[in-house]
Structure 1
Amino acid sequence: MTKEEFYNELTKISALRDSRLNCAQLVKNDMKLFPYLIEILFNVDDKKSCHAAWVFEFVCEDYIYALIPHLDTFTKNIHKVHLESAIRPVSKVCQFMAKAYYSKENNTFKRLLSPEHKERIVETCFDWMINKHKVATKVFAMETLFLFGQNNAWIHTDLKHILEQDFQTQSAAYKSRAKHILHRMKKNT
């Protein structure tokens, strides 16, 4: 399938879960489409980049290691994503990466996720936390920051400050996750 044919497939999907899953299965069945998916995802002014982000999330949820050859591209471009429908799935993939990196089992992320990659992810997650984004994006960002902060105390310090500062003005979902993260940070000290 060419990039143009794949783009046309993306234009056909809807926000319905089954629609997104079917397109993700198409990619998982032919991983040669994954670079096209990333390319379309980072064409950030095209509204179909949101469709690519939805599919990207499902592919990475099932097989996060597909992202390994594209770590540079992904981490150099995540800050450019600005359509809210695309930011949420991208933030969730950042969480998947952090969980893979901090899993108990030895894996490729532990070897190949460089300090520069982590720095770009952390910086973007902090941007998502302090700017006006939907709760889901912030929740995935705070979890990612919590995980990467386990080896970098300054991340936990800054995250704690943001969570405490924003606590009263945020939604119940945000407050619930913030309490949970603050409790986990306290437990780790």
Structure 2
Amino acid sequence: MKTDLVAKISQSTAHRKSRVSLSNFIIRHENLLNEFIEIAFDIENENHVKAFWSLEIVCEKKLKLFVPYIDLFCEVLPKLKVDSAIRPATKICMFLAKSNHRKNGISLTQEQEHNLIEALIDRLIQDEKVAAKVYAMKALFVFGKKYDWVHEELKTIISQDYSNHSAAYQAATRNLLKKLNK
């Protein structure tokens, strides 16, 4: 079965239909989740980016499956170098933050929250693509509802960085600043 999973990952593409197909396969075959996560988190593996593309959708559909891997995710997150893996990883952070904030969602430990916050702030101040920065901002906004200092840090970073980015980034920043200044 291992070669079957590796083949499925390597044959997948960035197209939504392909990513959804692979994520559905993983959800149907939860016994493969461990191996799938191993591939996604192995930044030396040539298929790790493709695995991350579908892992994002697995987390969007069934975040509870991801709970046993959060500590490992917190370790891998700051090590990601490829934009195509960073974007889905920051989106997963957003799912985790939102679920953690909901009454019946998953519960992150304080250490997990702090690890995610630190990694997200790093992503925000680094030279990342807009989508990754926007997901990082959204996740940090949610974490800031619990930790006031996060909102202050977020305001400072996005205000200073505002003029150095595209219109899309500036629009997302304006919307977030309105929420932060309420």
TM-score bracket, shorter-length normalisation: over 0.9
Alignment-derived partner of residue 171 in structure 2: 176
69-78 or 132-141, larger mean C-alpha shift: 69-78
Q: Are positions 1:123 and 2:118 aligned together? A: yes
Measure the CA separation in 2 of the matches of 1:161 and 1:168. 13
Alignment-derived partner of residue 132 in structure 1: 127
Measure the CA separation in 1 of the matches of 2:73 and 2:127. 22
TM-score, L = length of structure 2: 0.96
Q: Are positions 1:106 and 2:104 aligned together? A: yes
Q: Are positions 1:154 and 2:152 aligned together? A: no
71-80 or 119-128, larger mean C-alpha shift: 71-80
Matches within 5 A, 1:23-172: 23-103=22-102, 105-107=103-105, 109-110=106-107, 113-172=108-167
- Structure 2 residues not aligned, in runs of 5+: none
Please list the CA deviations of residues 110-130 of structure 1 after superposition, one character each: whole Å capped at 9, or x if unmatched. Answer: 3xx101101111111011101
Alignment-derived partner of residue 18 in structure 2: 19
State the percentage of identical aligned residues.
33
Conserved? CA contact 1:42–1:80, under 8 Å: no
Please list the CA deviations of residues 54-109 of structure 1 after superposition, one character each: whole Å capped at 9, or x if unmatched. Answer: 01001111011111111211112211111110110010000001110112x323x2
Please list the CA deviations of residues 141-177 of structure 1 after superposition, one character each: whole Å capped at 9, or x if unmatched. Answer: 0001111011211111111111100111111111111
Please list the CA deviations of residues 26-80 of structure 1 after superposition, one character each: whole Å capped at 9, or x if unmatched. Answer: 1010111111121111111233111000010011110111111112111122111
- Name the SS for the 2:159 alignment partner: helix
Q: What is the root-mean-square deviation in Å for CA atoms of aligned residues?
A: 1.1
Alignment-derived partner of residue 9 in structure 1: 8
Structure 1 segments of 4+ aligned residues over 2 angstroms from their partners? none
